[in-house]
Amino acid sequence: MQSVIDDYFATCENENRIATITGLALHLGFASRQTLINYQRKPQFDYTIARAKLRVEAITEQQLYTRDGAQGAEFTLSRNFQWLDPHKDRELNIRQREAEIKEQEAQSGKIANDHEDPLSLALRKAVEDEEACSKLGIAG
């Protein structure tokens, strides 16, 4: 298996293609990306496939520093390699919590006007402060 994996990366390099998990799965003869992932669960292939996936991740990470590949690389790293953007995750959690609170209050009949309640105002202010810090390059 290792020789076929090495061949895949050499082929990508020779043909100026970016290595991908799906491309690796195809080159190994699998019918799907998921089959490759499932195959990794077999102890005899775990290390070999884990290293190959790490090589793909490293190549993808390098794309973050190119103008043309940055957005695709960011998407791939977040979806396939569980890279997270703490700012986006925190903002999403705050907005989800704010929506949950409003939903609970609406169901209990507490919101009788269009004015925001103090907790929603505080949550929105926290998000705005975080965005301002992010734009200025300051850790929030």
Specify whether 45 is located in the same domain as 99. no
Specify whether 75 is located in the same domain as 92. no
Give how many domains the chain has, as a whole number: 2
Specify whether 111 is located in the same domain as 75. no
What's the pLDDT score for residue 50? 95
Q: How far apart are CA 98 and CA 93, in angstroms?
A: 8
- Predicted confidence (pLDDT) at residue 113 exceeds the cutoff of 60: no
Handedness of CA 44, 48, 50, 56 (dihedral sign): negative
What's the pLDDT score for residue 112? 47
Q: Which of the pair, 86 or 105, is modelled with greater confidence?
A: 105
pLDDT (tens digit, 9 = 90+) per residue, 3-30?
A: 999 999 999 999 999 999 999 999 999 9
pLDDT (tens digit, 9 = 90+) per residue, 64-99?
A: 766 776 677 777 777 666 666 655 666 666 777 777
What's the pLDDT score for residue 100? 76
What's the pLDDT score for residue 96? 74
- Predicted confidence (pLDDT) at residue 139 exceeds the cutoff of 70: no
Q: What is the pTM of this model?
A: 0.53
- In the numeric block, which tokens belong to residue 18? 């970016």
**Boundary residue ending a domain (34, 51, 80):** 80
Q: What angle do CA 50, 54, 59 make, to 5 degrees?
A: 150
Q: What is the DSSP letter of 117?
A: P
Q: Which of the pair, 63 or 39, is modelled with greater confidence?
A: 39
The domain in which residue 122 lies consists of 86-136
